[in-house]
Amino acid sequence: MTGFVDVVSGTARDLFPLIWSGMITGCLYALGALGLVMIFKCSRVVNFSHGNVAGFAAFLIFGFSSGTLLQLSWGTAVLLALIAAIAIAFLSYAIIAPIVFESDLTATIATLGLGLVAQGATLLIFGADIVSLELPVPRFSTSFLGLLITGYDLTVLAVTVVTIAILFFVIDYTKLGVAFRAISSNPFAAEVCGLNLRSVHIFAWVVAAILGVVGALLIVPTTFLSSTTVVTFMLQAFAAAVVGGFSSLPGSLIGGILIGVLMNLFTFYVSPEFTSTFLLGVILLALNIFPNGMLVKVGGSRV
Amino acid sequence: MSENAVSLTSPRALRTGLSRVAAGRAATYALVIGLLVLPFLLQGSWLYTLGICFANSIGVLAVSVLVRYGGEVSIGHGFFAAVGAYSVAILEHRLGISLLVSLPVALVLGVLLGICFAWPSRNLSGIYLAVSTMALALALPEVINNAGEWTGGFQGLYVSRPVIPGIDMSLQRYFVALVLLIVVAYGLDRLRHSRQGLTLLLARSHPAAADAFGTRRVWARVSVMGISCGIAALSGVALGFSSSTVSPSGFTLWSSIFLLVGSVVSFYGLSLPRALIGGAFLTLVPQFLSGSGAWIPVLYGLALLIVILAGHFAPKIAAMLRRHPEGL
């Protein structure tokens, strides 16, 4: 009997911190997934360059603040990298703009080309070395009901909540947001009503770029920064988007947190070596069980 | 489709069309004969490079089939190539079986895995296949590395058993890849003219019409993926045999994306010369840029974008020039 109690209390002791830290990283996956879903919703293009561009921006922050390129304060470096990411988003959209309405498949392939260029640029400028990029968060930690809550956790949570609140406010209440929703649900009718598809597309690309940079910036302190980390981080974002249905913003939020928690439990209880395989399994399972996302009840084909 | 219909109405257009087809056939035969004679003129390292080039060409064909017949894109074909390559290597290491037996095994495994893999996204739009193949490509290296007992882990396995004992191994490495490439290209040519191939194309371009003729869309999509993955497994067989090593570094997400780049660069062509263009692009560019590896993704990315944009704008510019023949 006592053995059983021990096991239960031991599991509970492990489980809550695992779920908590999974939720924290899950918030970041959700940020990445939101960017993918925003672009997909309005233009039916899957942006495979998302991770590469976000990784490039994270490297720019490192380069601007560490003295590799410039010696600036952290805040200025982040600002400059954000501007660079937005400029890259404009440029990317300008390149695929002629193809978007013709074939979303070709446009999706084109984003792979953009990703290759971003990846190559990262390798050319910063090399294949591993660097560390710290986040200036207050070094603080407190214990709450057996959970160790650090300043980093609270920062991530606060940034995610604020970012998503702003995003949902913009989408729900501003003119641009209404146009975005109209175009997502029926592009033809929206165009007939005189909405400009291009400006909404650019809005989605810019928002996605910002979300990607924020996500990459916050995920890097938990691991390290190399030319591949942010790209693999984006696999989690893709999985979150698929679990959420790929065209639902709240769905990708829930999907992100779910993926974060599941990943944490899997690495702790099963194996830390098969994380990508696990994500592959989650994606395939999610496609089988709820093809249109968790928040949609009825299954069926999307034509 | 409409161009064919127009050309059939006028006898003169039909004649020029037929003569162009005949010329294309003659050029392909000449190319095949040239490639068959080539090893007796060239030496050593070029034979090796060409063998790998043929293997890459088969991989490019696999991706192009999926785009052409299925309207879908995969960035995980490296997985199916790895299935082919590792079945050859593992069967040779464990059982001492030569390529003649392991080749059909690899083909069947590739087709079956492709069908299994296409199944979850059978009813969904093509982007789901792209995303799940991306996960497949990312999961592959960790599976190979963690099954080290079978796959040799990071170091990989050697493939050294000859198909026909007694013949120079470098010639065999060249000819196995070449013969596989020719067989695949010939098979695809036949598929294009067969009833099944036309059915698959109809299911892609007019799903409702295909439904009316009794072709289910799910069946068409899954079988296209099966064909494509079978060809990808054959490309893995050729790659493993002609490069004589099989290791996880050859089957990363990037190598899968590169296959797609090769397919785009050859304009998704299914003919032998087009496939060779794609394969040569994938094999020769890294050779010329071997000193500066980081330029390879940049160059591939730019080539991809340029070809896509050229494919978009070239017909429009041509039409504009036709409207204003005396110049703009």
Residues B49 and B106 in one domain: yes
Q: Across the A/B interface, how many CB contacts are shorter than 8 Å?
A: 140
For residue B40, the model assigns a pLDDT of: 84
Averaged in consecutive runs of 10 residues, what is the pLDDT profile of chain A (303 residues)? 65 80 90 91 89 90 82 86 94 90 87 92 86 76 76 88 92 89 87 86 92 88 78 85 85 91 90 87 86 60 43
Residues B277 and B308 in one domain: no
Residues B158 and B222 in one domain: yes
Residues B89 and B231 in one domain: yes
Residues B252 and B157 in one domain: yes
CB distance from A175 to chain B under 8 Å? Answer: no
What are the tokens at B97? 């079986």
> Could you tell me if residue B2 is inside a domain?
no
> Could you tell me if residue B5 is inside a domain?
no
Alpha carbon separation from A40 to A98, A189, B45 (Å, rounded) = 17, 18, 46
Alpha carbon separation from A209 to A31, A118, A299, B280 (Å, rounded) = 10, 13, 32, 35
With CB atoms and an 8 Å threshold, state whether A276 touches B138. Answer: yes
What's the domain range around B315? 289-328
Residues B120 and B211 in one domain: yes
For residue B47, the model assigns a pLDDT of: 87
Residues B49 and B65 in one domain: yes
Final residue in a domain of this structure, among B282, B298, B314? B282
Determine which of B68, B131, B144, B258 to mutate to test the interface with A (most A C-beta atoms within 10 Å): B131
The C-alpha atoms of residue B125 and residue A247 are separated, in whole angstroms, by 12
Nearest CA in chain B to A243: B128
CA A244 to chain centre: 13
> Could you tell me if residue B7 is inside a domain?
no
The C-alpha atoms of residue B110 and residue B122 are separated, in whole angstroms, by 18
Provide the shortest C-alpha distance from residue B90 to chain A (in Å).
Answer: 21
Final residue in a domain of this structure, among B266, B282, B298? B282
Nearest CA in chain A to B138: A276
Average pLDDT of span B291-313: 87
Binding-face residues of A in 33-72 toward B, CB within 8 A: 40, 44, 46, 48
pLDDT of B222-233, one tens digit each?
999 999 999 999
> Is there a contact between A276 and B110 (Cβ–Cβ < 8 Å)?
no
**Would the pLDDT of B1 be above 70?**
no
> Is there a contact between A219 and A25 (Cβ–Cβ < 8 Å)?
yes
Instruction: Map chain A to HEC letters.
Output: CHHHHHHHHHHHHHHHHHHHHHHHHHHHHHHHHHHHHHHHHHHCCCCCCHHHHHHHHHHHHHHHHHCCCCCCCHHHHHHHHHHHHHHHHHHHHHHHHHHHCCCHHHHHHHHHHHHHHHHHHHHHHHCCCCECCCCCCCCCEEEECCEEEEHHHHHHHHHHHHHHHHHHHHHHHCHHHHHHHHHHHCHHHHHHCCCCHHHHHHHHHHHHHHHHHHHHHHHHHHCCECCCHHHHHHHHHHHHHHHHCCCCHHHHHHHHHHHHHHHHHHHHHCCCCCHHHHHHHHHHHHHHHCCCCCCCCCCCCCC
pLDDT band at B327 (very low <50, low <70, confident <90, very high): low
CB distance from A112 to chain B under 8 Å? Answer: yes
Residues B164 and B147 in one domain: yes
For residue B275, the model assigns a pLDDT of: 92
> Could you tell me if residue B9 is inside a domain?
no
**Which of A46, A277, A301 minimises the CB distance to B127?**
A46
> Could you tell me if residue B1 is inside a domain?
no
Residues B127 and B106 in one domain: yes
Average pLDDT of span B68-72: 89
ipTM of the complex: 0.84
Alpha carbon separation from A16 to A9, A10, A23, B7 (Å, rounded) = 11, 10, 10, 71
Residues B241 and B324 in one domain: no
Residues B236 and B309 in one domain: no
For residue B124, the model assigns a pLDDT of: 76
Residues B98 and B138 in one domain: yes
> Could you tell me if residue B275 is inside a domain?
yes
Nearest CA in chain A to B121: A287
> Could you tell me if residue B3 is inside a domain?
no
pLDDT of B147-197, one tens digit each?
878 888 888 888 888 888 878 888 888 999 999 999 999 999 999 989 989
For residue B294, the model assigns a pLDDT of: 79
Determine which of A56, A116, A232 to mutate to test the interface with B (most B C-beta atoms within 10 Å): A116
The C-alpha atoms of residue A119 and residue A112 are separated, in whole angstroms, by 10
| Count of domains forming chain B | 2
> Could you tell me if residue B16 is inside a domain?
no
Provide the shortest C-alpha distance from residue A234 to chain B (in Å).
Answer: 10
